[in-house]
Amino acid sequence: MKIVIDARISGTSTGRYVDKLIEYLAKLPVDHEFVVLTKTHRLDYLKGIAPTFKVVESNFKEFTFSEQLGFLKQLRSLKADLVHFPMVQQPLLYWRPTVTSMLDLTTTRFKNPSKNSVVFNTKQLVYKILNRIVANRSKHIITITNYVKKDLQKSYHIKDSRITTTHCASDKIDETAVESIHLKGIPFIMYVGRPQPHKNLGRLIDAFNILHKKYPELRLVLAGQKDTLFEQHEKRAIELGLNRSPISELRTPTKNDSVVFTGFVSEGQLRWLYENCQAYVFPSLSEGFGLPGLEAMVHGAPVVSSNATCLPEVYGNAAHYFSPYSTKEMAEKIDDVLSNKTLRSTLIKRGREQAKKYSWARMAKQTLEIYNRVLDQ
């Protein structure tokens, strides 16, 4: 059978899921013909991790008319027996058998203040409609946590036989740890990821402001590509007196720059941050899996996490939890880890054990089993 995998999001934070799926599928003994569709800049990478798969250029941007028309034409020309979309965005007029990974419903529930409200609200409405159509039309739905599975079943009345959870996993970063954030010898807590409203970074900065009074040498490191939302958080840090002025990427922090906005960090830089932080803090209001926290555990960072949505399912007893809506509680739980060496050591040990429970190889095998079930229908 010919199976097409849409990997246009390869190389993004969300795309880690499809990259690992392809990498580990390629290691399994299969008779199917696999065709991977991706953007030009990811062709060589995907050919490298899946040399037996056919990798084809597909530069149709997600959530555009070109996706609905041009990508539709490309898919039809491939005459696949099955197409796997690792995201909801897909051509509405494609009617051949599909499997869709619905990673969470966060985008349907949160606004983005950095976008034009009229345009964003219109797109969000279309996205909500698309979610419902895809949920009902796909031959099978894949989720990455049981929380999301139950959320989708409740929202779209999906039969249990049509939906399966395949957990993600986390590998240790292979690149050598590189200290180029100028934090050597300075205590810091950290977060890595996008600054979208549901990530709750505003409350994290406010919680850090409370902690900073007790720990004046402590830094809060916010790692991620700078954008308008990060700039707004930078302004908040200045208003609170935590920072002196906007800082350039990777500039040496001064005593007046307590919140460090790194901008983009390489894999080696990220590894160094994980391995040297006092705690990894994940304040999110809504997640589909929470991969950065698990990645932090792999590298020996104690995790202090929101207790929202799927996070307790993924982290188990390996995280110290707080309500993401309480700045005071968030500060208290972070302080627990900073001040209690026994708790810190326990979290590090539990974190490493928790991370071992997840496997990309198992996820790929489960996904292949889903493909086979759908193809046998």
3-state secondary structure the chain: CEEEEECCCCCCCCCHHHHHHHHHHCCCCCCCEEEEEECHHHHHHHHHHCCCCEEEECCCCCCCHHHHHHHHHHHHHHCCCEEEECCCCCCCCCCCCEEEECCCCHHHCCCCCCCCHHHHHHHHHHHHHHHHHHHHHCCEEEECCHHHHHHHHHHHCCCHHHEEECCCCCCCCCCCCCCCCCCCCCCEEEEECCCCHHHCHHHHHHHHHHHHHHCCCCEEEEECCCCHHHHHHHHHHHHCCCCCCCCCCCCCCCCCCCEEEEECCCHHHHHHHHHHCCEEEECCCCCCCCHHHHHHHHCCCCEEEECCCCHHHHHHHHEEEECCCCHHHHHHHHHHHHHCHHHHHHHHHHHHHHHCCCCHHHHHHHHHHHHHHHHHC
Q: Span 284-310, mean pLDDT?
A: 97
Axis-axis angle for helices 327-339, 341-355 (nearest 10): 100
Closest CA to 208 of 219, 222, 223: 219
Indicate whether 205 pLDDT > 60.
Answer: yes
Rounded to whole angstroms, the Cα distance separating 9 from 71 reads: 14
Confidence (pLDDT) at 3: 98
* pLDDT for the residue 34: 98
Cβ-based neighbour number of residue 209 at 10 Å: 20
Q: Please compute the mean of the pLDDT values over residues 157-172 and round it to a whole number.
A: 96
Angle between helices 201-214 and 327-339 (to 10 degrees): 50
Which tens digit of pLDDT belongs to each residue from 65-117? Answer: 999 999 999 999 999 999 999 999 999 999 999 999 999 999 888 887 777 78
In contact, 25 and 364? CB cutoff 8 Å: yes
pLDDT over 70 (residue 200):
yes
Task: List, for residues 211-258, the tens digit of each pLDDT value.
Answer: 999 999 999 999 998 888 898 999 999 999 998 766 655 555 556 689
Mean pLDDT along residues 2-19: 94
Delineate the domains of the chain, giving CATH numbers in brackets. 2-169+359-376 (3.40.50.2000), 188-355 (3.40.50.2000)
pLDDT in tens, 22-70: 999 999 998 999 999 999 999 999 999 999 999 999 999 998 999 999 9
Average pLDDT over residues 130-147: 96
What's the pLDDT at 254? 59
Q: How far apart are CA 301 and CA 344, in angstroms?
A: 9
**What's the mean pLDDT in 148-170?**
96
Q: What is the pLDDT of residues 321-339, one digit of tens each?
A: 999 999 999 999 999 999 9
What does the pLDDT read at residue 251?
A: 55
Q: What percent of the chain has pLDDT over 70?
A: 97
Q: What pLDDT shows up at residue 292?
A: 96
Classify strands 140-143 and 98-101 as parallel, antiparallel or unpaired: parallel
